[in-house]
Structure 1
C-alpha cells in the first residue's frame, strides 16, 4: 500500500504546489498590470505562465523523484527525461522574459519619441536582438541537453581537440550564411534600412515588411513579397525613399502639341493641387523640358509628405489635366499632322506636283 500511496502523494503534491504557485504568481502579475497600466511589461510576463509552471513542475518532480520509488527499473530514464524537460522549459521561460523586456522597451521608446524614422529603427533593432537572444538561448539549451548524456560528455574532449579544424571547415562551408548573419547585424545597427521603409530594389518598389538575420522581405505595391538575402543591401546600391525625411517630389510628364497653352496649364496645375488633399503645399512647377518635330514634352513637379501621397498626387494631376485639355483645349493634344506644307514667301506649288517654282520678279517702277 505504501508503494502506491507514496508515488501518488509525491506526484500529486508537486502538481498541486505547481498550480498554487502559478496561480499566485499570475495573480500578482495581474494586479501589477492593473496598477501600472502605463507599461505592458506585467501583461507580457503573464504570457510566460505556461513555461513557468512547466519548469516548476519538472523541478519539483526531479527533486522528489527519488522519494517516490516509482518504476525503479526506469529510474534513470525518467530522471533524465525530467532534466531535459526542465532545461527546455527554462529556455522557453528565458525567451519569453527577454521578449517581454524588449517589447516593453520598444513600446516606451515609441511613446516618448514621435519621429517615425527613429521608431522604425528601434523596431528593427529590437526584432533582430530578440532573434539573436532566442538563437543563443536555444543553442545553449540544446548543448545542455546533450551534455546530460554520458556518451556526449565522453566525446566532448575529442570534439574540443578538433574544434579548430571543424571551425575552419564550417566557416568555409557556411561562408554565405555567416555573411548574411553579419550583414543582418550591420543593417540593424547601421541604420541602412528599417522595417516600414519604402525602397526600390531591382526596379521593384515596395515596403520593407520583415528583417531577419539572414533575409529581408519587401512587400510590393501589388501585394507581392520579394525575399532577398540581407547581404544584398550591404553589397549593392538601392533606393531608400524613407531615409532622412520621408518628403518626396514627384514628376508628371505630358506629350502635347506645340500649340498647348502652357500658361493656362500652370494655372490649372495650381488649382488642381489646391483641391488635392495629398499635396503638402511645399512646391509645384510646370515647364517645357523637351521638344520634337511633332510634340512638346511638358513636365510638372509636385511635392508630398511621403511616397504614398506623392503617388496619389501624380495620378490625380495626370488624369485631371488630361481631362481638362480634352474638354477645354483639344487642339493641345498630340496628333499626326497631315496639312500641306507652308512654302517660303515668293514660291508657288508646281502645276505638275513636281515641286515649287519661284514667281517671276516684277519690274521695279520709280518716279521719273
Structure 2
C-alpha cells in the first residue's frame, strides 16, 4: 500500500509497489501497463502522483485525463487515469483500445465498485497485458513504519495499537489520525478517543455519499447483527439492492470487508450525521427487530452504546461483526 506522509514527501510501500516504482525509476520509458484497484482512501491518487513525478522528472510527457473518443495520443506519452470507475463507456473504450495497441504506456486506477461491463473488460485487459495492483489496508507493521516518521509522537506500542485499531489500517485514516495527534496538545495517560479535528475531516466523505449509504452507515454504527431482510426494509430495496449499497460503501473506504466500521469511522458517523437521520434510522431498526420477533435488548444496548438513546454518551468501540 502507499500513502504520503504528513509532509507529502515519504511513501509507505509494500514490496510489490516498491518493485513497481523501482522498475519505473530505473527505466522511465520502459513498458508500463498497470491497473490499480482499491477503495477510497487506500492510496490510488498518491501512487499516481508519484508515478507522474518520476516520469516528469525524467522528461517523459504525462497525460492525467482519459482521452476523448477520436482524440490522438502520442505513443511516447504516459497516460495516468484516476477514478476510472466514474468514466462513461465511451472513454473506457478509448482506454481499452490504447491497451490493445500495445504501443502506449497506461496506468488506470479505479475503485472496486461500481464496475460496468466496459470497465471489467478494461481491467481484464490491463491484467492480461501488464499487471494488476490491489491496494489494501496497512498491516500493523506498516502503521508502525508510518508513525516512525513522526518521532515527536513517540514510538510506543500503545500509540501504534491506538492508531491501527482506530483506523483499521486504512491509509487515509492513519494519515488523518497521525496528523491530528501531532497537532494536538501534549497528551498524558492512555489514548482513548481521536481528536475532534480528525473526526470533523470525515464530514466531506460522508456528505458526498448517497442517502442509502449514509443510512447503511448509521445502521452498522448501531452494532449488532443486521440480516439482509432488515437492511432491505431500512433501505427500501431488494437483496440485490442491499448488496449494491454495501459494495458502494466498501468501495468508499468507509466499511471494512468484514462488515465492520473502523472505530474512528463509527464515531464520525454517529457524531456528524444529522440528528433527524440518526433518530429515523435507529427507530426503524428497533421497529424492524420487533416486527420480526427478534430480541430487542441487544439492539437497545448497542444503541445506548453509540448514544442513540442517550446523547450524553460517547460511541463505544466496535465489538461485533454486523453484516451477514
Q: What interval of TM-score do these two structures reach, taking the shorter chain for normalisation?
A: under 0.3
Larger gyration radius, structure 1 or structure 2: 1
- Structure ranking higher on relative contact order (CA contacts 8 Å, 6+ apart): 2
More helix by proportion, 1 or 2?
Answer: 1
Higher strand share: 1
What is the TM-score normalised by the length of structure 1?
Answer: 0.20
TM-score, normalized by length of structure 2?
0.22
